[in-house]
Structure 1
Amino acid sequence: MNQYLTLAGRVLLAHIFLLAGISKITGYAGTQGWMESMGVPGMLLPVVILLEIGGALALIVGWKTRWAAWALAAFSVLSAVIFHSNLADQMQSILFMKNLAMAGGLLVLAAHGPGSLSLERR
């Protein structure tokens, strides 16, 4: 049973990054402009897309899971601080806490590994 729960946890953690990465491709110019308005160089967008999509796929299949989880956890905290630090705005506060919660789940995954239903444990 635990192997299925671990797989479900990996998929649930990964799906938000996969969808976010895809939406950044389809809304490239808008995302790039928004990043720049927040003081982040727009030329970093391809790296962000690669991290989100590549990291999500690595989590889903259970390949290099600890590395992907560490990278996505760091990305989640960094993006919370950069993009959601206006804690006086309730929505930004919620998004900030969401990013921290995702980082927490990713750190648990980094600590315990992908479980038996993964490419790493095949």
Structure 2
Amino acid sequence: MVNHPALCDTSKLVGRVLMSLLFIFAGWNKIGGYKMTEAFMVSMGLPALLLPLVIVVELIGGLAVLLGFFTRCAALILFLFCLASAWMVHLVPGDPNEMTSFMKNITIAGGFLILACAGAGRFSLDHWVRKK
């Protein structure tokens, strides 16, 4: 069992970095490939008007988790986002690749739920702001 405060805070930092990068890069790539992403969303039966919201959630949420700023709120939003995208985009029972993506989204959602409960740790803007 790991119960050393410095190791736990370092682990939270590393976990936040690893979890956030996926969303920061995904949001950024959606900006660069806006029309292609929009067409994909429409082909999945989703309204194109959701794309700006998706980009904001991925970029701002990812950056908030990375920096440890409003971490619990950002983690809850990304938890819900992961569940929604798993259900709306990747739940295709006949397609093993989509079902793997579905399970990955559910797993990432679990990580965000844990982060929402545990908080960002000492190496975060949340901690720095709380100390002032």
Tell me the equivalent position of 1:20.
26
C-alpha displacement of 1:42: 0.5
C-alpha displacement of 1:18: 0.6
Tell me the equivalent position of 1:47.
53
* Equivalent of 1:31 in 25, 31, 37: 37
* RMSD, matched Cα: 0.7
Q: Name the % identity.
A: 43
Tell me the equivalent position of 2:12.
6
* Equivalent of 1:84 in 68, 82, 90: 90
Looking at structure 2, the residues matched to 81 and 4 of structure 1 have their Cα atoms a distance apart, in angstroms, of: 33
Tell me the equivalent position of 1:119.
125
2:22 maps to a residue whose letter is: I
Could you list the runs of 5+ residues in structure 1 that have no partner in the other structure? Answer: none
Query: Residue 41 of structure 1 aligns to a residue in which SS?
Result: coil
Q: How many residues align?
A: 122
Tell me the equivalent position of 1:72.
78
Looking at structure 1, the residues matched to 13 and 86 of structure 2 have their Cα atoms a distance apart, in angstroms, of: 26
C-alpha displacement of 1:3: 1.2
